[in-house]
Amino acid sequence: MSNFVPEKSIRDFFALLNENEIHYLLIKNICGELPGKLKGGKDLDILVHPDEITRFAKLMSENGFFYRIHPFGTEHGWKFAYGLEKHQFWQKKNSPKVFYIDVCFCLCVKSLTPKTWVPLDEKLNSRIWENQVWDNELSCPCLDEKTLFVYLFARSVFDKRGFSEKYIAEIEKRKDLIDDTEIRDLLSCIFYNFTDQLIQLAKNGKYGEIFSKFLTFKDY
């Protein structure tokens, strides 16, 4: 028996949101694990517009999903800073393979302060809805390439504390964006004066040095 979540379960979830006109985006699809290579027990990450919080939760509870305690939520001592809405975590009932829906309401990362979530800069969050793109294969809206490219760096540094092979592969696929002036502007909203060094390290493929150099950077 396959260890992957059935493709139909993934497609049915997106269809549910589309049919009910939920304003949402798929945040990432690392190494093309969706729709047919999401391992059982893993989660699917989506962004739901903050105006849709109540309607989204109602839709989920009425369509075979139940609310779970988030592994990085307030119940486990995590804080949501700067007015950030706490995440939601849902599980599909009676699914052949357990999978979860991890929901946030703006792009955010784990702060270097322990157990604290912080939103990414408003400049980044304000562009995500107007620049969203449609994924024909998955039949769902997604982050645009520029936002995703910047988010991959932010997530690697703050959430992962390093660059995994999968994340490096995703960044490398989009490496032609590294010299884009808007990319630099968006990265600087997160990394400030470290941005030039980050870009140079990425250009040279020195991903393993980025996190340690960021931690020791003094001219922040």
Count CB neighbours of 15 within 10 A: 13
Evaluate if residue 77 carries a pLDDT over 80: yes
**Number of structural domains, the chain?**
2
Whether residue 202 sits in one domain with residue 121: no
Evaluate if residue 176 carries a pLDDT over 60: yes
Residue 1 has a pLDDT of 55
CA dihedral (158, 163, 164, 165) in degrees, to 10, reads: 150
Whether residue 110 sits in one domain with residue 4: yes
Prediction pTM value: 0.95
For residues 1-17, give the mean pLDDT.
91
Percent of the chain with pLDDT over 90: 93
Return the ∠ at Cα 148 (arms to 204 and 209), rounded to 5°.
30
Residue 65 has a pLDDT of 95
Whether residue 130 sits in one domain with residue 34: yes
Write phi, then psi, for 191 (nearest 5 degrees): -105, -5
Sign of CA dihedral 63, 68, 71, 76: positive
Whether residue 163 sits in one domain with residue 93: no
Residue 97 has a pLDDT of 86
Domain that includes residue 183, residue range:
144-220
Whether residue 128 sits in one domain with residue 63: yes
| Cβ–Cβ < 8 Å for 10, 35 | yes
Evaluate if residue 220 carries a pLDDT over 80: no
Whether residue 20 sits in one domain with residue 115: yes
3-state SS assignment for residue 138 = coil
Smallest CA-to-CA distance from 39 within 81, 125, 100, 91 is with 100
For residues 106-122, give the mean pLDDT.
96
Evaluate if residue 102 carries a pLDDT over 80: yes
Whether residue 199 sits in one domain with residue 185: yes
Residue 96 has a pLDDT of 80
Give 95's pLDDT tier (boundaries 50, 70, 90): confident
3-state SS assignment for residue 30 = helix
For residues 75-104, give the mean pLDDT.
94
Return the ∠ at Cα 65 (arms to 100 and 30), rounded to 5°.
25
For residues 58-72, give the mean pLDDT.
96
Whether residue 173 sits in one domain with residue 137: no
For residues 127-151, give the mean pLDDT.
97
For residues 161-166, give the mean pLDDT.
96
